[in-house]
Chains A and B, each alone.
Chain A
């Protein structure tokens, strides 16, 4: 077959051209908008990061790498923010993935009301992050909050959840996990349903216990899903904004100040546009690095 000569008759070529043209026409609306509101701004962020914005004169001046020097060597706050972002991700991702797996395993069997529980666990996913964060802020108030009032009924004096540095971070992580874990649960459930039941049945007949089946059969078969879920959740943890904005405002004592919120604060509350843009460049590279890592790991596991 390889000897078949490639004939480029006029009709063939024009059909090819026609298909290529329609391809470009079909994607042109998306592509135009994408260039205007993503690619352009992405280039701009690098340019902005080399400037300093004077809010009084409304003028920007070129300062070279000054903003990066500020971030890396002058401003200890940045390292604090980076540390917080890592702590946030390190707390959120394992908790989210583990809980999602537990819920999925629990719901991956037939019993009365399985749909009811699935509906309940998934309900926060469709709820607005702002609404979820507001209700939890109310629940976690020192005196009037529902959680501490419940604790008081059994004689426990609850902490000031959102005003103590350690508890504030824990509170934001846990409420954020509760908001989003349903999504990962659904992805795990979908993966579990692709594992043929005969495998587990055969293993049971061979005398394998439940833990053994999970450890040596289910868990390895879920590995690709676990990988995808983990990376998407890590990248998602970099985007956290509404929970921080509404629950803690980055406090107390910067304990919950994470990169995405820090960018917003610097750019739109303090109007340090150049500095905030340099921070955005950092966030860009962190996200790009994680995305590439996912791609490479996926490639390797295939």
Chain B
């Protein structure tokens, strides 16, 4: 009611100056935020702008944000320069495989840690925590010779196995465990009385209830795999087996100098689909990362 009384009152000079001060404050607030966001946004804009310039245009001074005649041919040339379509497909199917495997392995393990009492679970849990914190660089050397022994170097297997059973799989396990532990236990007890087996309870009761957690795990796992660089660099040597991040480092001329226009076109092509999905589903994606980070 008070607000109604206020707004029905006629404006006097004091109100107007207060209003001006308020909108001035508002403008300053937005200007500050826009200023803060420049270092986060400008690289994307500059990447797109550069990807549409010719090789000579890209180093020209003064710089132009919008090239006079967009060099769309850059986006064609990257596919003939190296097998970029194949590399793109490699990244996609590896990320999909990593995601599926992590969903399966982590939901089962997470359920066990949340609901089942078994000897040694605490000890294993602490060990997994250590695996979660350890940088990949600690175990990458033995893993390389291990994969070599198994004949898996220069295949995609290490790129699938290492994330699933390394820190990413463990993050997913902890996330699932936390989610399962928060589910009401009564439902499962009722199912148990109905004679459902443990796996039946997990599969028919717990898993269908945990879709938000599964979605979060899927999102962070897919992005993790899609973005990997160290593992492809160590394990892959054939161009047509490369993944996108590794391929991006490979657009250079005969002297090893980067061909910026091609590199930026390829980079744009790898970043834009992710950004589009991100913009559409930003709430879900941001929350997924928040869920994976809270347990720290």
> B-contacting residues of A (Cβ < 8 Å)?
18-24, 26-27, 29-31, 33-34, 36-42, 44-45, 48, 103, 106, 111, 113, 115, 117-132, 134-139, 143-144, 146, 149-150, 152-153, 178, 182-183, 186-187, 190, 228-229, 231-232, 235, 238-239, 241-242, 245-246, 259-260, 263-264, 267-268, 273, 276-277, 280, 283-284, 287-288, 290-291
Q: Is B162 an interface residue (CB 8 A)?
A: yes
Is B124 in contact with A31, judged by CB distance below 8 angstroms?
A: yes
Q: How many residues of B contact A (CB 8 A)?
A: 95
A186 pairs with B118, CB closer than 8 A = no
Whether A30 touches B173, Cβ cut-off 8 Å, given contacts A117-B37, A130-B248, A187-B293, is yes
A121 and B258 CA atoms in complex are apart in Å by 28
Query: B248 contacts which of A31, A41, A131 (Cβ < 8 Å)?
Result: A131
Which partner residue on chain A sits nearest B119 by CB separation? Answer: A20
Instruction: Report the bound CA distance from A152 to B109 in whole Å.
Output: 57
A132 to B44, CA, bound (A): 9
Q: A30-B106, A128-B270, A267-B141 are in contact. Are A178 and B39 (CB under 8 A)?
A: yes
- A88 vs B208: C-alpha distance in the bound complex, in angstroms? 44
Query: Can you list 11 contacts pairing A with B, beta carbon distance less than 8 Å?
Result: A22-B199, A23-B121, A27-B112, A27-B121, A33-B169, A40-B146, A130-B249, A139-B46, A232-B293, A241-B229, A280-B138
Is B89 part of the binding interface, using a Cβ–Cβ cutoff of 8 Å? no
Whether B133 sits at the interface, judged by CB under 8 Å, is yes
**Distance (whole angstroms) from the CB of A11 to the closest CB of chain B:** 14
Distance A26 CA – B124 CA, assembled complex (angstroms): 13
Given contacts A23-B118, A27-B108, A126-B285, 12 further A-B contacts (CB under 8 A): A23-B116, A29-B109, A30-B173, A123-B41, A137-B258, A152-B61, A153-B62, A187-B293, A239-B137, A263-B137, A264-B230, A283-B135
A contact residues around B58 at 8 Å (CB): 144
Q: With A103-B36, A134-B267, A136-B43 as given contacts, are A26 and B202 in contact (CB-CB < 8 Å)? A: yes
Which stretch from B8-16, B78-86, B273-281 is at the chain A interface?
A: B273-281
Q: Is B67 an interface residue (CB 8 A)?
A: no
Interface of chain B residues 114 through 142 with chain A (CB within 8 A): 116-119, 121, 124, 127-131, 133-142
- Nearest 7 CB-CB pairs, A to B? A23-B118, A33-B165, A26-B112, A41-B142, A23-B116, A44-B142, A144-B59
Within 8 Å by CB of B165, from A37, A144, A187, lies: A37
Q: Which residues of B contact A33 (CB under 8 A)?
A: 105, 161, 164-165, 169
Is residue B111 contacting chain A, with contact meaning CB distance below 8 A? Answer: yes
A45:B137 contact, CB within 8 angstroms:
no
Known contacts A131-B271, A291-B130, A187 near B290 by CB under 8 Å: yes
Q: How many A-B residue pairs have CB under 8 A?
A: 274
Whether B63 contacts A186 by the Cβ 8 Å rule is no
**A117 CA / B248 CA spacing, docked (Å):** 29
Q: Evaluate contact between A120 and B40: CB separation under 8 angstroms.
A: yes
Measured CA separation A246–B139 after assembly (Å):
22
Question: CB-CB contacts of B173-184 with A at 8 A, as 1s and 0s?
Answer: 100000000000
Given A38-B165, A40-B146, A48-B141, are A130 and B293 neighbors across the interface (CB < 8 Å)? no
Identity of the chain B residue whose Cβ is nearest the Cβ of A21 in the assembled complex: B118
Contacts of B279 in A (CB 8 A): 119
Cβ B116 vs Cβ A22 within 8 A:
yes
Residue of A nearest to B39 (CB): A178
With A and B bound together, what is the CA distance between A280 and B289 in angstroms? 29
Query: How many angstroms from the CA of A284 to the CA of B131 in the assembled complex?
Result: 11
| Complex alpha-carbon distance, A35 and B230, angstroms | 21
In the assembled complex, which residues on chain A have CB atoms less than 8 Å from the CB atom of B47? Answer: 131, 135, 138
Given contacts A146-B46, A186-B289, A264-B140, contact A30 B40 (CB under 8 A): no
